[in-house]
């Protein structure tokens, strides 16, 4: 491990490699904002997969975006490597700690390739870095772990600053949606990329119906195109008063909608982290995993989980999202709305 460098050792441009997923990219973007809050003249490049690219393209603290198009196979990988090498970065940060991200950082041609300490790396990704940040607790929230790279580079007290791209078109669309919904909504994210993070869609429907009828607030479902089957189930339970926006918004439009929301409710997913970054209050339904690392970051949010008797206090391995009933989720949502 190399000691933190002096600020004057920082080159004018650097590359951050955080390819996906949506929530991880949202959290990692706090690193770009922290670096530029410290050194405003710094130009940050970013390597990302297509799915999360809309969160990086147009970001106020990212000067250049390199999209790795995975559907193009080896040709896509070679193309992004050529593009990155042509930028002549002197410093690359692998904040994803996987083999593919560390190899891409190393192939960037940068003289310094900084990654996580060996204990926190996966897939032997530490082998491809030339420099590693100081060891830290694995239980620390990922936002803080990303900010450790800024400290390693010399930033004295980096703090989390959530900034997201915005366009006039996205803001106008979000304003139209809020007007159509009848006011600032409760936004329910019904999808998740992993089955263990998916709450049964009929429960989302029952929860949405209860919120409309007992709290008197507009409610809408959001999600990606892959969540449409769950949306159909949820809609059947929710009834016609709940609006279905699943698969109809871009990530930038969703961020604009979340900035106008009363509350976001959903699982440990990309939209949940996007809601936090957008400034929305969050009620997060959490199953297995460590909420200290990947739960909603910051104060004012609510975590809902059921820990089985005899499990570790955090229920990291044994908590199941399906053990959360509608009544518990509704009580937390109503409490958050009251707050």
CA-based nearest residue to 6, from 38, 28, 48, 31:
38
User: pTM for this structure?
Assistant: 0.94
Q: What is the pLDDT of residue 223?
A: 96
CATH code of 168-338, in short, is 3.40.50.2000
pLDDT digits (tens, 9 = 90+) for 223-236: 999 999 999 999 99
For the chain, the structural domain boundaries read: 7-153, 168-338
Same fold, 7-153 and 168-338: yes
pLDDT digits (tens, 9 = 90+) for 178-216: 999 999 999 999 988 899 999 999 999 999 999 999 888
Give the sheet arrangement for strand 219-222, strand by strand.
243-244, 219-222, 186-189, 263-267, 282-285, 302-304
pLDDT digits (tens, 9 = 90+) for 275-333: 999 999 999 999 988 999 999 999 999 999 998 877 666 667 788 999 999 999 999 99
Three-state DSSP class for 44?
strand
How many Å apart are CA 134 and CA 80, to the nearest integer? 29
Instruction: State both tokens at 333.
Output: 């949502």
CB burial of 241-278 (b: ≥16 within 10 Å; e: otherwise) equals: ebbbbbeebebbbbbbbbbbbbbbbbbbbbbbbbbbbb
CATH topology of domain 7-153: Rossmann fold (3.40.50)
pLDDT over 90 (residue 9)? no
DSSP β-ladder status, 131-132 and 112-115: parallel
pLDDT digits (tens, 9 = 90+) for 13-30: 999 999 999 999 999 999
How many Å apart are CA 281 and CA 201, to the nearest integer? 22
Burial bucket for residue 183 (CB in 10 Å: 0-12, 13-18, 19+): exposed
pLDDT digits (tens, 9 = 90+) for 30-76: 999 999 999 999 999 999 999 999 999 999 999 999 999 988 889 99
Q: What is the pLDDT of residue 314?
A: 64
């Amino acid at each position: 491990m190399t000691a933190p460098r002096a600020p004057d050792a920082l080159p004018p441009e650097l590359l951050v490699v955080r390819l996906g997923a949506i929530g991880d990219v949202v959290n990692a973007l706090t690193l770009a904002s922290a670096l530029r809050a410290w050194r405003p003249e710094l130009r940050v490049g970013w390597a990302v997969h297509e799915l999360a690219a809309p969160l990086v393209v147009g970001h106020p603290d990212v000067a250049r975006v390199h999209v790795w198009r995975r559907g193009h196979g080896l040709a896509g990988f070679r193309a992004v490597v050529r593009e990155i090498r042509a930028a002549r970065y002197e410093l690359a940060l692998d904040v994803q700690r996987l083999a593919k991200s560390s190899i891409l950082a190393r192939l960037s041609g940068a003289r310094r390739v900084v990654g996580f300490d060996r204990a926190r790396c996966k897939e032997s990704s530490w082998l491809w870095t030339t420099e590693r940040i100081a060891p830290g607790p694995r239980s620390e929230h990922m936002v803080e772990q990303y900010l450790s790279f800024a400290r390693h580079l010399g930033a004295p007290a980096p703090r989390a600053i959530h900034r997201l791209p915005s366009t006039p078109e996205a803001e106008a669309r979000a304003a139209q949606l809020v007007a159509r919904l009848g006011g600032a909504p409760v936004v329910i994210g019904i999808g998740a990329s992993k089955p263990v993070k998916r709450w049964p869609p009929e429960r989302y429907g029952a929860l949405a119906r209860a919120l409309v009828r007992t709290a008197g607030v507009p409610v809408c479902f959001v999600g990606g195109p892959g969540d449409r089957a769950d949306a159909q189930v949820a809609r059947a339970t929710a009834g016609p008063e709940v609006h279905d926006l699943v698969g109809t918004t871009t990530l930038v439009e969703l961020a604009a909608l979340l900035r106008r929301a009363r509350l976001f409710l959903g699982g440990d997913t990309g939209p949940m982290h996007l809601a936090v970054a957008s400034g929305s209050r969050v009620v997060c339904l959490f199953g297995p995993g460590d909420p200290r690392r990947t739960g909603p970051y910051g104060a004012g949010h609510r975590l809902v989980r059921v820990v089985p008797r005899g499990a570790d206090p955090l229920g990291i391995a044994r908590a199941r999202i399906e053990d959360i009933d509608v009544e518990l989720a509704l009580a937390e949502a109503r409490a958050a709305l009251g707050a």
